[in-house]
Amino acid sequence: MAVNKKGEPVPTNAIALKDGYFGVAKTLKHKLHACCRDAEQFRKGDIVFLWVYVDAKGLKQGFVDKKRGTVPIPTQQWLSIIDEAASLGANWLVLSLQDALDKCAGVYEICQWAQCVHGMNVGLHLKGCTCPEKEEVALLRKLDRKKTKLLMHCPPGKMPLAKEIDGITVWTANPQPDGEKPKCQGAAHMIFVNEKGILYTCGLVEGKEDYRIGHVFDECLKTVLTNPKTPRKVCDDLHKVGAGCDGCPSLVTTFLPRMRRMS
């Protein structure tokens, strides 16, 4: 308890009255300004995309209680990540599959959650696949087809195309040649998470320690993304189109008008 000049105890509310209500008002004003600065930072960054890597092994397991970053994230925990990203403004979810689509059963639950609960558009990036099997397409058609896109690698030399396979819209996952400066919307518009839940600036620098910005369960995404020390931009020396750009929603969506004209 506080004391006065005579050493006598003084109730806290007495101090508040002595300081007057102006002191309280100033405190509230500072807190409001701090909140506004956080909100302004997010308006400038406008999170639009959540891009994640998933694999079959991770999707099948239960909740992860091992050391973070050492094992893949399971289906149920991905749902929580989607919830948090959606609360920050993400309206696109792109899942880059490390395994064949028919082996990643948990993917459909994740996609349905994103579409039905948050109204998100979903892109399924089939790494190393040039044409989905009929069984895979049949499963995809169970999703909201207007909000579902298939992203597939286009062989070098071919122009970016958008087409349909049994009612599922297909976009090229690599609309820009390797080696060029990416014509993307920037990493600041995106949250990138690898299959083990590790956050990086973007997929291009996945695995590079200088661009590792934490783990999805270390602290809330907003805290990570608003930290001034968090790297949200890739240096020019590394910022060149490569394999790490395959399926990047920030890049692919930049080419959408061109894809639509050619479809």
Give the separation between CA 171 and CA 254, rounded to whole angstroms: 12
52 Cα distance to chain centroid: 7
Query: Is 6 a domain residue?
Result: no
pLDDT for 38 equals 46
C-alpha dist (Å) from residue 211 to 8, 68, 98, 232, 233: 56, 17, 21, 8, 9
pTM, rounded to two decimals: 0.78
Domain coverage including residue 97: 47-262
Domain shared by 159 and 186, yes or no? yes
Domain shared by 94 and 221, yes or no? yes
Q: For the chain, how far is it from start to end, CA to CA, in angstroms?
A: 74
Counted domains in the chain: 2
Domain shared by 206 and 134, yes or no? yes
Domain shared by 81 and 116, yes or no? yes
Q: Return the residue matching tokens 């696949």.
A: 129
CA dihedral sign, ordered 119, 76, 218, 32: positive
C-beta pairs of 163-171 under 8 Å, 24+ apart in sequence: 163/263, 165/131, 165/132, 165/137, 166/134, 166/137, 166/138, 166/141, 167/141, 168/137, 168/140, 168/141, 169/145, 171/123, 171/252, 171/256, 171/259
Complete edge-to-edge strand list for the sheet that includes strand 49-54 = 162-165, 168-172, 148-152, 121-126, 92-97, 49-54, 190-193, 198-200, 212-215
Tell the burial category of 257 from Cβ atoms under 10 Å away from its Cβ (0-12, 13-18, 19+). exposed
pLDDT for 158 equals 62
Give the separation between CA 125 and CA 135, rounded to whole angstroms: 17
- Tens-digit pLDDT profile for residues 138-161: 878 889 988 999 898 877 666 545
pLDDT for 129 equals 66
Domain shared by 139 and 25, yes or no? no
Give the separation between CA 115 and CA 101, rounded to whole angstroms: 18
Domain shared by 120 and 166, yes or no? yes
Beta strands in the chain (DSSP E): 2-3, 9-10, 49-54, 92-97, 121-126, 148-152, 162-165, 168-172, 190-193, 198-200, 212-215
pLDDT for 156 equals 66
pLDDT for 4 equals 46
Domain shared by 29 and 109, yes or no? no
Domain shared by 23 and 143, yes or no? no
pLDDT for 186 equals 85
Confirm if 88 and 47 have CB atoms less than 8 A apart.
Answer: yes
Tell how strand 168-172 and strand 190-193 pair up.
unpaired
pLDDT for 52 equals 94
User: Is residue 166 helix, strand or coil?
Assistant: coil
Domain shared by 243 and 186, yes or no? yes
- The segments of the chain whose pLDDT lies below 70 read 1-45, 60-69, 128-131, 156-162, 257-263
Domain shared by 68 and 189, yes or no? yes
Arithmetic mean of pLDDT over the chain:
78
- Tens-digit pLDDT profile for residues 201-238: 999 999 999 999 999 988 899 998 888 888 888 999 99
Domain shared by 131 and 144, yes or no? yes
pLDDT for 152 equals 86
Query: Is 1 a domain residue?
Result: no
CATH number of the CATH domain containing 177 = 3.20.20
Report the candidate in 163, 133, 129 with the shortest Cα–Cα distance to residue 149. 163
Q: Return the residue matching tokens 């149920």.
A: 76
Q: Which of 30, 45, 60 is the last residue of a domain?
A: 45
pLDDT for 46 equals 75
pLDDT for 30 equals 55
Domain shared by 33 and 111, yes or no? no
pLDDT for 260 equals 46
